[in-house]
Amino acid sequence: MVGRFDERFLEEIKSRLRPSDVIGRTVKLRKQGREYVGLSPFNKEKTPSFYVNDEKGQFFDFSSGKTGDLITFLQENERLSFAEAVERLAAEAGVPLPAVDPRGAEQEKVRQGLAEWLELAAKWFEGELKRPPAREARAYLEKRGLPETEWARFRLGFSPSGRTALKDYLVTKGARPAELVETGLLIAPEDGGAPYDRFRDRIIFPILDARGRVVSFGGRAMDPQARAKYLNGPETAVFHKGHQLYGLSEARKILAAAPTGEDAPLVVVEGYMDVIACQRAGIAGVAAMGTALGEEQMEVLWRHHPEPTVCLDGDRAGKAAANRLLERALPLLKPGRTFKFVFIEGGKDPDEVLREQGALALKAQLASTTPFAEALFNFHRGDDPLDTPERKTALKVKLRKVAATIADGDLAAAYREDLLARYEALWPTRQPVYTVGAAAREMSRAGWDKRRKNNAAAIGATAEVKDAYDRLRRAPRPLAAALAMAAVRDPGIIDASIERVGSHGFGDEQLDRLAQELVSLRYEADGLEADAAVRHLHTRGFVPEDFTRLERDAQRAGLSAPFLTETGERARDLWRQAFDLLMQLESLERAVEGAAQDLARDQDSATLMTLKGERDQLRRLLNSDWANENVAESPLAH
């Protein structure tokens, strides 16, 4: 997490304030359609050219070219620092500020220093692009259809071939080589030699965060024999590759400037030049910088658009990337947040389409999208023939399992219905699958609760036995309790699965509130020890008895929770494996329930038996001493 204020905190503030109310205190605004208009506070003018849009949370000043959100307005209009603007708006919105962590404050001071060297390096790269050694780089950009008039917009630059050219320049400005290594600008040899420039003889693409600050760089090699055609900066204190999206700050401006009511797309493409091509065509484009989209990047995308469009090459690699995204995004889907897909005709990329056919053609191609559900079905349908009962059943089982992995119950049911309808459409003469609604599912759960109560009465008549059974029935699943207990002891254990914990909890609804508090804690502060986490939870209403009960319930997990007795990375690895397996079991339980409900009408007992077999196999695995086995190699662990 970079800085004291993360994106979620900032979004919470902005969601509580109307820009027209705040800005209207210093700029006289009048309503004009869905927007507010007034005279520019930045330039003297007689005709109003300053607009405020509450729906988009943005202001636009066409006289000065300035645009942004409420924070930007206070920074520009009142010359406040970012922190001062945030603190003022937080007070107005009634949102408490995150606690000041002395260690975090020191880390922020260090990050600020690194950010200053990165900005200075960006300006140096920009200047080098205009000098004689960059002649071939300039010719390359012109050949790619990117004229010199556009270079400044994207802050393109060039790194000369000298081994220490950038280092020498920044050292003369007061930088220490060790600081520059921390920024990722220099490489420190393992043999202890002098650090040298990471980027040499490359076209430079600055990587900016959502607020437009330089956090790293990417470089395209000019030498065709270079070992790496594209090179990105490493993970640093200010650059986290799994969270960052190339081009996001400019994409936000494009989305904000779109006419009210227009469904402007947010497109995820594969490379720097593709992002630039989209943005030159007026399309908000971003890229994941050569890596597959991660959960954090998906969350960032959804904060800016409910249905981002993923644009990939139509070749095998592009389809494989789309399939990986489908599987990774599926558990995170919710009503109002999904993805669309587009494969550009002829195997071309956006940059080629813009150069060869123009902006209108690129917009038309990116508008021809495939919904997530259709892409998901096509992926699992594959190309294999469905010419035997076994193959047909295998596909139906797979589709039910896939739908059940969605955390949102209503959406999971809708996907199950959609996928099975597509399955039935493969044989038009068959009767459609009958699906039950929420009421039937509730009746099924009510019946299960009733059977559990009858069992309680049957196992003993004494009050003590009934009380003990009732406590056991109300207790969370042992493995779920163990996962939660480990997260209380070591809050950082959830980091690799934080979005899934936020969506699924620990696999037991009785632990949902604890899961949400731990997730919020991880977003608010890094590096908290167990004592600090417990103190935080006490402030949120958890009492010592809650942790005593949780500890007791966790101990019932026995062999299936070895992460409680291990330490360090070994404990975290085992915790992640157990969490993944429990999530798979949850999905199979839901799929079995759905198949059982369909059985009376569908007469497809083979599907139900297959799902039950997989579920029971996973249950046995979770109850075995799996910590002493190589669980990662188990087919159920993938």
3 state SS for 572-594: HHHHHHHHHHHHHHHHHHHHHHH
The rounded distance, in Å, linking the Cα atoms of 579 and 586 is 11
The mean pLDDT value for 611-623 works out to 69
Nearest Cα neighbor of 239 from 184, 158, 170 is: 184
pLDDT digits 0-9 by tens, 131-159:
999 999 999 999 998 999 999 999 999 99
Q: Is 527 helix (H, G, I), strand (E, B) or coil?
A: coil
Q: Give the pLDDT mean for 6-26.
A: 87
pLDDT at 622 over 70: no
Instruction: Please write the tens of the pLDDT for every residue from 341-350.
Output: 998 877 788 8
Query: What's the farthest any 2 CA atoms get from each other in the chain?
Result: 93
Q: Which two tokens stand for residue 180?
A: 């520059």
Could you tell me if 588 and 615 are in contact, meaning their C-beta atoms sit under 8 angstroms apart?
yes
494 pLDDT band (50/70/90 cuts)?
A: confident
Q: H-helix or E-strand containing 50?
A: strand 50-53
Q: Is the pLDDT of residue 170 over 50?
A: yes
User: Who has greater pLDDT, 201 or 324?
Assistant: 201
Cβ atoms 418, 399 nearer than 8 A? no
pLDDT attached to residue 316: 73
635 confidence band (pLDDT: 50, 70, 90)? very low
Which pLDDT does position 572 carry in this prediction? 84
- What pLDDT, on the 0 to 100 scale, is given for residue 76? 85
Q: Flag the least confident range among 329-333, 483-487, 587-591.
A: 587-591
Which is more confident, 222 or 257? 222
Q: What confidence score (pLDDT) does residue 459 get?
A: 45
- Please tell me whether residue 6 adopts helix, strand or coil conformation: coil
User: Confidence band (pLDDT; 50, 70, 90) for 118?
Assistant: very high
Please state, in angstroms and rounded to a whole number, the distance separating the CA atoms of residues 321 and 484.
33
Q: Is residue 294 packed enough to be buried (19+ CB in 10 Å), middle (13-18) or exposed (0-12)?
A: middle
3-state secondary structure of 5: coil
622 versus 223: the higher-pLDDT residue is 223
Task: Give the chain's length.
Answer: 638
What per-residue confidence (pLDDT) applies to 596? 66
Counting residues of the chain whose pLDDT is more than 70, the rounded percentage is: 79
Single out the residue of 2, 1, 14, 8 nearest to residue 86, CA to CA: 14
- The residues, any chain, with a CB within 8 Å of residue 448's CB and separated by 6 or more, are none
Which of 6-10, 302-306, 478-482, 591-595 is the most confident on average?
Answer: 302-306
The pLDDT of residue 23 is: 93
Tens digit of each residue's pLDDT (9 = 90 or more) over 67-83: 889 999 998 888 788 88
Integer Cα distance of 53 and 256 in angstroms: 9
CA distance 250 to 98: 28
Give the pLDDT of residue 602: 53
Lowest mean pLDDT among 391-395, 423-427, 548-552: 548-552
- Greatest mean pLDDT range, 55-59, 272-276, 385-389: 272-276
pLDDT (tens digit per residue) in 465-479: 444 445 444 566 788
For residue 462, the model assigns a pLDDT of 54
The pLDDT tens digits for 379-413 are: 999 888 888 888 888 898 889 889 888 888 889 88
Query: Reduced to 3 states, what is the DSSP secondary structure of residue 180?
Result: helix
Instruction: Considering only residues 21 and 592, tell me which one the structure prediction assigns the higher pLDDT.
Output: 21
Q: What is the pLDDT of residues 454-466, one digit of tens each?
A: 444 444 445 554 4
The mean pLDDT value of the chain amounts to 81
Task: List the single range of 77-86, 219-228, 397-406, 560-569 with lowest mean pLDDT.
Answer: 560-569
Q: Look at the block and give the residue holding tokens 């049957």.
A: 458
The band of 111, judged by pLDDT with boundaries at 50, 70 and 90, is confident
Q: Tell me, what's the pLDDT at 349? A: 83
Q: Give 314: exposed, middle or buried? Use CB within 10 Å, 0-12, 13-18, 19+.
A: middle
Choose among 486, 489, 521: nearest CA to 502: 521
Contacts of 405 (CB under 8 A, 6+ apart): 330, 331, 412, 583, 587
Q: What is the pLDDT of residue 479?
A: 82
Q: Is the pLDDT of residue 507 over 50?
A: yes
Give the pLDDT of residue 159.
Answer: 96
Q: Exposed (0-12), middle (13-18) or buried (19+): which is 429, by Cβ within 10 Å?
A: exposed
Which of these ranges, 47-61, 173-187, 256-270, has the smallest mean pLDDT?
256-270
Q: Pick the range with the lowest mean pLDDT from 36-50, 86-100, 487-501.
A: 487-501
Query: 465 vs 9, 448, 458, 549, 555, CA distance in Å?
Result: 48, 21, 11, 19, 21
The count of other CB atoms within 10 Å of the CB of residue 634 is: 15
pLDDT attached to residue 104: 61
The model scores a pTM over 0.75: no
Q: Is 427 a residue whose pLDDT tops 50? A: yes
pLDDT at 439 over 50: no
- Packing angle, helices 512-524 and 478-489, rounded to 10: 20
**Which domains does the chain carry?**
7-93 (3.90.580.10), 105-232 (3.90.980.10), 248-377 (3.40.1360.10), 445-637 (no CATH)
Give me the residue label for tokens 């037991």: 508
Helix or strand holding residue 23 (H, E): helix 19-23
CA proximity to 534, closest of 524, 525, 544: 544
Q: Compute the distance between CA of residue 323 and CA of residue 411 in angstroms, rounded to an integer.
A: 20
User: What pLDDT sits at residue 468?
Assistant: 46
* pLDDT beyond 90 at 530: no
Any idea which residue has 């990165």 for tokens?
118
627 has a pLDDT exceeding 50: no
pLDDT-derived band at 509, boundaries 50, 70, 90: confident
Q: pLDDT digit string (tens) for 157-169?
A: 999 999 999 999 9
Selected residue with higher pLDDT from 624 and 11: 11
Across 28-32, 261-265, 505-509, the highest mean pLDDT is recorded for: 28-32
Whether the per-residue pLDDT at 375 is higher than 60: the answer is yes
